[in-house]
Structure 1
Amino acid sequence: MAASSSNNSAPVKHEVISTFDGRAVFTCSTCTAVLALQDEVISKSFSGREGRGYLVHSAVNVSLGKHEDRPLLTGVHTVCDVFCTGCDERVGWYYVKASDEGQKYKEGEWKYLLEKERLTKENGWS
């Protein structure tokens, strides 16, 4: 739900998408906002800043930080941190550009690295 205020210094909350019709999702471990569908996972064998991570095709309820060149295990990549719009916690990063030809598959088409420690798996079982 969007917050409104008559004064310009108040933080603005973004509306959060809350459902995917009972499908298995990853949620933010801090505020439980839905971040990605589990069937969007490309790989579970990535490393984040704080341990394992998932490479996923797309994410929702996220905002992007500034672009920066970052040395990662597979070389230098241009990435931007990804933040949950529900609580503003950093949950991973978005791949903008890979310098190594063999890593170009991570670029574009909205490829995100979501850190496992920042996620909760919700299976949607009733």
Structure 2
Amino acid sequence: MADFLGSRTYCCFKCQNLVAYHDDIVSKDFQASNGRAFLFSHLMNVKEGAKEDRQLITGLHTVADVFCRDCGEELGWKYIKAYDETQKYKEGKFILGKFKITKGNG
């Protein structure tokens, strides 16, 4: 198992629950409905909502909203399926709104 003691972390802005490591950021150049967002390869301590098709800026995707496992705050979504071939790289990855997370003490 990797040693993450020195790694920067991101937490739920509401309850400070650890949800992601900085090393899992794929891109910081994303947009959520309320501002900037980060694309992550992995999250932890979250739960997924129901899958639904959603029309996003980059086209139609099947997504599932993700929520903080501790407080239930909606933090972003997971890409389940991309219908456009150029968007397939997003499948299985997560979007978190920058305003929904805070840097942890890790």
Query: Which residue does the alignment assign to 1:116?
Result: 98
Structure 1: segments with no counterpart, 5+ residues: 1-19
Q: 1 or 2, which has the higher strand percentage?
A: 2
Cα distance in 2 for residues equivalent to 1:27 and 1:100: 31
Cα distance in 2 for residues equivalent to 1:84 and 1:29: 10
Q: Which one has the largest radius of gyration?
A: 1
Cα distance in 2 for residues equivalent to 1:74 and 1:123: 34
Name which structure has the greater RCO, CA cutoff 8 Å, separation 6+: 2
Kindly report the root-mean-square deviation, in angstroms, between the aligned alpha carbons of the 2 structures.
Answer: 1.1
Question: What is the identity, as a one-letter code, of the residue corresponding to 2:56?
Answer: L
Query: Which residue does the alignment assign to 1:83?
Result: 67
- Helix, strand or coil: the match of 2:72? coil
Q: How many residues align structurally?
A: 103
Which 4+ runs in 1 deviate beyond 3 A? none
Structure 2: segments with no counterpart, 5+ residues: none
How many angstroms does 1:22 deviate by?
A: 4.3
With the length of structure 1 as denominator, give the TM-score of the two structures: 0.78
With the length of structure 2 as denominator, give the TM-score of the two structures: 0.92
Aligned pairs for 1:18-97 within 5 A: 20-97=4-81
Question: What is the identity, as a one-letter code, of the residue corresponding to 2:83?
Answer: S
Cα distance in 2 for residues equivalent to 1:117 and 1:47: 11
How many angstroms does 1:121 deviate by?
A: 1.2
How many angstroms does 1:49 deviate by?
A: 2.2
Calculate percent identity across the aligned residue pairs: 49
